[in-house]
Structure 1
């Protein structure tokens, strides 16, 4: 395994991105939505094994005070190999001058994010349109 990191979506295989989302159960992500969210993201990290995408992450930021990391996703077959740490490390390096970086961990991944330097917030709040997500993250 020879992992390399890229910070561009130029020449990205969107169908491969969809496969990775689907490999972890995120089935509502189709190519059109994936392309849109990555095009609107300020910071992008994509991990490749040779020339095959195996994981990615993205962030939105105001460029000064705040940023939020989203969609850190590693293909199921590549999980627990340090790729997630590389992706988070690269995103944080790109956001190194940002005062506050937020993220919402998917259920079960809280310890991973704690190990890479994130802590629970005292005042974090959210609203979800999807009742299932409300139940999972807020109740």
Structure 2
């Protein structure tokens, strides 16, 4: 199957993208939430196969200092095929020129990102809207 890459979200079926995040599984992200977050991101990259979204990701960036890669998702039937690595390479390429490119991984996926040059930060910290959920999901330690 041929993969078509795009950086445009024009014509994207946001419900389809929402379902992709659900089945990946990367959580429940509503179509409206995704429309807002992708719309406010400097870079976005989507992979389409026969017109269907099979991978997507975005980067919130300021154009000079920091580009934060987030919401990187690959359809379960395409995981392990190299599609995620290609998506990551494309987002890193779009982010070139920034002093730092940051992401945080779903717990257990750190090794995948390490293969692409990412290293664990020793000072990264976060405030989550639902800290108990973030602890339960393995994103932060108990306070």
Normalising TM by the smaller chain, what interval?
A: over 0.9
1:4 aligns with 4
Cα displacement string for residues 57-89 of structure 1 (whole angstroms, at most 9, x for unaligned residues): 000011001110000001111111111111111
After the TM superposition, which segments of 4 or more aligned residues of structure 1 sit over 3 Å from their partners? none
Give yes or no for contact 1:127–1:134 (8 Å, CA) kept in 2: no
Which residue in 2 is equivalent to 1:50? 50
Superposed, 1:1-139 pairs within 5 Å as 1-130=1-130, 131-135=132-136, 136-139=138-141
**Deviation for aligned residue 1:25:** 3.0
Question: CA offset at residue 44 of structure 1?
Answer: 0.2
Deviation at 1:106, TM superposition (A): 0.4
- Give unpaired runs (5+ residues) of structure 1: none
Higher mean alpha-carbon deviation, 18-27 vs 55-64, is at: 18-27
Distance, in Å, in 1 between the alignment partners of 2:126 and 2:18 is: 26
Provide the aligned C-alpha RMSD in A: 1.2
Q: Deviation at 1:122?
A: 1.9
Shift of 1:128: 1.4
Instruction: Tell me the SS of whatever aligns to 1:137.
Output: coil
Q: Is the 8 A contact 1:128 1:134 kept in 2?
A: no
Contiguous gaps of at least 5 residues in structure 2:
none
**Contact 2:18–2:28 under 8 Å retained in 1:** no
- How far, CA to CA, are the matches of 2:3 and 2:62 in structure 1? 29
